[in-house]
Amino acid sequence: MIPATVIFTAAIAAILLAAIWRFTRPASKNPPLPPGPPALPILGNLASLDPELHSYFGSLARKYGPILRLQLGRKLGIVVSSPTVAREILKDQDVTFANRDVPDVARAVAYGGSDIVWTPYGAEWRMLRKVCVLKMLSNTTLDSVYGLRRRELRRTVGYMAGRAGGSVNFGEQMFLTVMNVVTSMMWGGTVEAGEERERLGAEFRRLVSVITELLGQPNLSDFFPALSRFDLQGLNRKVNAAGMNFDRIYEEVIKKRGEMEREGKESSGVPDFLEFLLKLVKEEGGDAKTPLTMTHVKALLMDMIVGGTDTSANSIEFAMAEVINNPRVLERAQQELDEVVGRDNIVEESHIHKLPYLNCVMKESLRLHPALPLLVPHCPSEDTVVAGYSVPKGSRIFVNVWAIHRDPSIWEDPLEFKPERFLDESRWDYSGNDLSYFPFGSGRRICAGIAMAERMFLFSLATFLHSFDWKMPEGKKSVDLTEKFGIVLKLKSPLVAIPVPRLPNPSQYE
């Protein structure tokens, strides 16, 4: 048995040697890591994470500053919460941070990360973005499918008018509308009106909600890669089930399009996105340097469904909730609509550029409730320095656009819904050039669907505010604006309201 005095002496000697080594070793040439909360062994800060990550990260930033670190198991997380630091990442060092830290769940649902959202920055990603922006999301294409947007909105107006005086789940109806527009653009087949339309719309929304919720949920498989094969939280199992449902739908429409081609049948109307993609696959084959494959096709369809429906529907739902809670804003928006559109007419997309106040309503709602509150996580391709701190290669970078949009040093009364703040501020656009306001991101990985989202948002909001007055169900005085975090932000409680027709002619609701 070793005497206690020997153990004590050895311990003192070890402490002294450690102190001498610490204070006499050569100074590191690398800057320190960003500050952050104390971390536990092995788990790091995982045990203290709040489910509402956007607001939790905002509270940490108030304590530790505009750039901070979190040890997430074996993964280092870096949280950015100021325009200055965000500019270093999304502008000054854009190429370095243009990659993604792909979560296990995303790999499972996006065909191994073969889509535009998760593919690493490079030739393959540039090919996918070019395909999307030039064909699916260009202004020319969006102009050509205006009739689809108009048709689906008129259907929804008719549905709501038929339930006038009763409660309507606005979010579900908005999701269904956007979903039908997106699927019409993708493969031309929409869900018909009636109970089948409602049933399939609810199923689509459930599947998309599952995917977006799982993408925003901390996953042990990401933070301890050795545990990935065990899927301890069951997240991969859940997302695979949702993904298989979507894959079945994609296989069916691809098969149907192939049968049409073999039978010599031509698609009616405007050629859809799927037709264009399959043509590219056939023409390029294996000859192109970065060929488009069938896996890419299905991954892009998944992007359009998940990225193009839930984000738009939830953003429009937030805007409607804010307007209903602010009678002054509702009155001013409807007055502008009556002056520009008139009560004897219905809203057309050509009216939108004449509605500056409505545009401000959209911008203010996206300020308070950005669709992706932490954007999609970035990942540096090499060790670098940001704001004087070391940021190691492979870190997961969270840009807290939600916190920046609510920063009192940038915005007066930041928690108040004030569309007027955008009336005289022409610099507030969606280009991502001003890192005080960038609801669609910035840099090379900025959202490819801004033009589509802007059109759908404004056209929908204008139509529903022009066509109806809105009341709360009995017993409720206002809409609960409590947010539920996910990679896509949404209302914790769905917006349920009563539409009251305000236009004089019943034919305006047909």
Max CA pair span of the chain: 98
Give the domain range for residue 154: 4-509
In whole angstroms, give the CA distance from residue 389 to residue 85. 11
Low-confidence ranges of the chain (pLDDT < 50): 1-21, 23-24, 190-191
Please name which of 326, 315, 295 lies closest in space to residue 479, comparing C-alpha atoms.
Answer: 326
Burial-class residue 319 by CB neighbours within 10 Å (0-12, 13-18, 19+). Answer: buried
3-state secondary structure 380-394: CCCCEEECCEEECCC
124's enclosing H/E stretch is: helix 123-131
Lookup result for tokens 């325009």? 83
Give binding residues for heme as ranges.
Answer: 447
Dihedral of alpha carbons 411, 417, 422, 427, sign: positive
Res 510: pLDDT: 85
Total Cβ atoms within 10 A of residue 197:
16
Beta bridge partners of 228: none
pLDDT in tens, 193-222: 555 556 666 777 788 888 888 888 889 999
Helix (H, G, I), strand (E, B) or coil at 26: coil
Average pLDDT, the chain: 88
With beta carbons less than 8 A apart as the criterion, state whether 493 and 460 touch: no
- CA 328, distance to chain mean position in Å, is 29
Does the predicted TM-score (pTM) go above 0.75? yes
- H/E element, 329: helix 327-340
**The pLDDT of residue 79:** 98
Q: What is the 3-state secondary structure (H, E, C) of 457-502?
A: HHHHHHHHHHHEEEECCCCCCCCCCCEECCCCCEECCCCEEEEEEC
Contact partners, residue 292, CB within 8 Å, separation at least 6 = 127, 131, 277, 280, 281, 284
> From the annotation, which residues make up the binding site?
447
How long is the chain?
Answer: 510
Identify the pLDDT of residue 306: 86
109-135 residue pLDDT tens: 889 888 999 999 999 999 999 888 877
Which one-letter amino acid corresponds to residue 439? P
Helix, coil or strand: residue 427: coil
Structure tokens at 78: 């870096």
CATH number of the domain residue 504 falls in: 1.10.630.10
Tell me the C-alpha distance between 271 and 266, whole Å.
9
Q: Which two tokens stand for residue 160?
A: 């709501």
In the three-class reduction of DSSP (H, G, I as helix; E, B as strand; rest coil), residue 55 is classed as: helix
Residue 245's Cβ-count burial label (10 Å; 0-12, 13-18, 19+) is middle
Q: How far apart are CA 481 and CA 490, in angstroms?
A: 9
| Per-residue confidence (pLDDT) for residue 21, from 0 to 100 | 46
The Cα–Cα gap between 325 and 477 comes to 9
Predicted pLDDT at 10: 36
- Nearest-CA neighbor of 404 among 430, 447, 446, 368? 368
Task: Give the SS3 label for residue 277.
Answer: helix
Count the neighbouring beta carbons within 10 Å of the beta carbon of residue 295: 13
For residue 176, CA distances in Å to 214, 305, 306 come to 21, 11, 13
Pairing of strands 75-80, 396-399: parallel
Q: Quick one: which H or E segment has residue 351?
A: none
Domain count, the chain: 1
Task: Collect all residues with Cβ–Cβ distance below 8 Å to 71 and sequence separation of at least 6.
Answer: 36, 39, 44, 45, 77
- Residues 277-289 as b/e (b if ≥16 CB within 10 A, e otherwise) read bbebeeeeeeeee
Inter-residue long-range contacts of 10-17, CB under 8 Å, 24+ positions, other chains counted: none
What pLDDT sits at residue 6?
31
Token pair, residue 81, equals: 């919460």
